[in-house]
Amino acid sequence: MVNYIWAIFIIVGISFSIFKGDSNITSTLITGGNKGIDIIINLVPLMCLWLGVMKIAEISGLLKIISNKLSKFIKIIFPEIPDGDVAIGYISSNIVMNMLGLGNAATPFGLKAMKELKRLNNESNVASRSMITFLIINTSSVTIIPTTVISLRVLNGSTNASEIMTATIVTTFLSTFIALILDRIFYFLWRKKHV
Amino acid sequence: MFNYFIPIVVIIVLVYGIYKKVNIFDVFLLGVKDGLKTSINLFPTIFAMVLAITLLTNSNIILELSNYLRPLFSKLHFPVEVFPLAILRPISGSSSLAILNDILATYGPDSFIGRIASVMQGSTDTTIYVISLYFSSIGIKKIRYSLLVGLLADLVSVILSIIIVSLLL
């Protein structure tokens, strides 16, 4: 699936640029990945900081305590994760950071959570039900404070930049809820077809 | 208040580690090594995705497509002005922010269109990018129904943001 999307983006992008006679297409192609370097350079210190801090939390048992406390709640959404597993700690850290609008801090926890979910799925290279649910929560967004949007509104001269907050919270929670329902429906449809 | 959230989390973890007599410096370094390794493993995916996304967005095909589809959307009572944002939001965070900025500058942040665009940007994430990054970071080959559900959920978000802005604001 990703294969096709990736190829379509590139083929459509290049063909349409050539079709329009955009002579910059060669330089776009050559420098197009530059932003990838920026992203990685910004990601490295965050990954190192958070995986370092979380390692301490893991060895000291703090992560286990948090995971045990949140087990009941997380199990409603992720029925396949065993009680008190450290994956719960990483998943909840990711969700909390996302809610606070700290997307950059959320990524390291999210990647680590995926690693733990792969361990729980016997290192298989097929996506597990829990992985898909976790990504659906991430992609449908659970932000409570849309900081970037509010600052863009201020920049464009809004008289009441934060008035969209209630509407954003209502929309994002409703859409995440519907996304979780869709996720369950597709899981059962998939299981029916593949068993 | 939220400004201090992250630093306080760090302090709590360190104090608890000392209290439990963990060799915190060495353990921290173990995590850093893990973080460095994970980042380097991520680089190929990030590079490949960013390249493809840049080529697609720079070609402006999505903007031109939305102009082309304008008559169809006005028939459906869908605000055409936010269509490019709705399409780009799941693909690229930075280009959708640029589009949002355009919309806010053109129609005004406090207009109906400006509000819908703001809510739309805030209530979804870059689905295609996140799914491909997270799955390839752990070497998943078969992503099953994840992308389909992710994109359906985005569609729900788009429709909801129009409805909710109409009702609430």
B148 inside 8 A of chain A by CB: yes
Nearest CA in chain B to A17: B59
Rounded mean pLDDT, A9-24: 94
A174 inside 8 A of chain B by CB: yes
Task: Give the other-Cβ count within 10 Å of B112's Cβ.
Answer: 15
Per-residue pLDDT at A32 exceeds 70: yes
Rounded mean pLDDT, A99-112: 86
pLDDT score at B142: 92
Residues 40-79 of A with CB under 8 A from B: 40, 43-44, 47-57, 59-62
**pLDDT over 90 for what percent of chain A?**
67
Rounded mean pLDDT, B107-117: 95
Whole-number Å distance between alpha carbons of A5 and A28: 19
Contact between B120 and B90 under an 8 Å Cβ cutoff? The reply is no
Which chain B positions have a beta carbon within 8 Å of A110's beta carbon?
Answer: 134
pLDDT score at A35: 87
Q: What average pLDDT is seen over chain B?
A: 91
Query: Which two tokens mark B130?
Result: 């996140």
- Give pLDDT tens digits for B124-165: 899 999 999 999 989 998 999 999 999 999 999 999 999 999
| Three-state secondary structure call for residue B21 | coil
Q: Which of B49, B126, B135 sits opposite A127 (nearest CB)?
A: B135
Per-residue pLDDT at B1 exceeds 60: no
Nearest CA in chain B to A182: B149
Which chain B positions have a beta carbon within 8 Å of A102's beta carbon?
Answer: 5-6
**pLDDT over 70 for what percent of chain B?**
98
Cβ–Cβ of B143/A167 closer than 8 Å? no
Which pLDDT band holds residue A102 (cuts at 50, 70, 90)? confident
Which chain B positions have a beta carbon within 8 Å of A164's beta carbon?
Answer: 115, 118-119, 122, 165, 169
Contact between B54 and A32 under an 8 Å Cβ cutoff? The reply is yes
Which pLDDT band holds residue B15 (cuts at 50, 70, 90)? very high
Query: In Å, how far from its chain's centre is CA A97?
Result: 11
B156 inside 8 A of chain A by CB: yes
Contact between A30 and A58 under an 8 Å Cβ cutoff? The reply is no
Contact between B53 and A12 under an 8 Å Cβ cutoff? The reply is no
B155 inside 8 A of chain A by CB: no
Q: What average pLDDT is seen over chain A?
A: 91
Quote ipTM for the complex. 0.88
Residues 81-120 of A with CB under 8 A from B: 100-102, 105, 108, 110-112, 114-115, 118
Task: Give the other-Cβ count within 10 Å of A148's Cβ.
Answer: 16
- Give pLDDT tens digits for B55-66: 999 999 988 888
Structure pTM?
0.90
**Unique residue bearing structure tokens 């939305």:** B66
Q: Which domain holds residue B77?
A: 2-168
Which chain B positions have a beta carbon within 8 Å of A48's beta carbon?
Answer: 31-32, 35-36, 39
pLDDT score at A154: 92
The count of C-alpha atoms lying within 13 angstroms of the C-alpha of B147, restricted to the half-sphere facing its C-beta, is 18
Domain count, chain B: 1
pLDDT score at A3: 85
- A65 to chain B, minimum CA–CA distance in Å? 12
Whole-number Å distance between alpha carbons of A91 and A109: 7
- A93 to chain B, minimum CA–CA distance in Å? 11
pLDDT score at B169: 76
Per-residue pLDDT at B12 exceeds 70: yes
pLDDT score at B76: 82
pLDDT score at A142: 87
Cβ–Cβ of B56/A125 closer than 8 Å? no
- Give pLDDT tens digits for A44-62: 998 899 999 999 999 999 9
Rounded mean pLDDT, A149-175: 92
Nearest CA in chain B to A7: B52
Which chain A positions have a beta carbon within 8 Å of B100's beta carbon?
Answer: 149, 152
Which chain A positions have a beta carbon within 8 Å of B154's beta carbon?
Answer: 139-140
Cβ–Cβ of A139/B131 closer than 8 Å? yes
Which pLDDT band holds residue B2 (cuts at 50, 70, 90)? low
Q: Which of B9, B10, B149 sits opposite A179 (nearest CB)?
A: B149
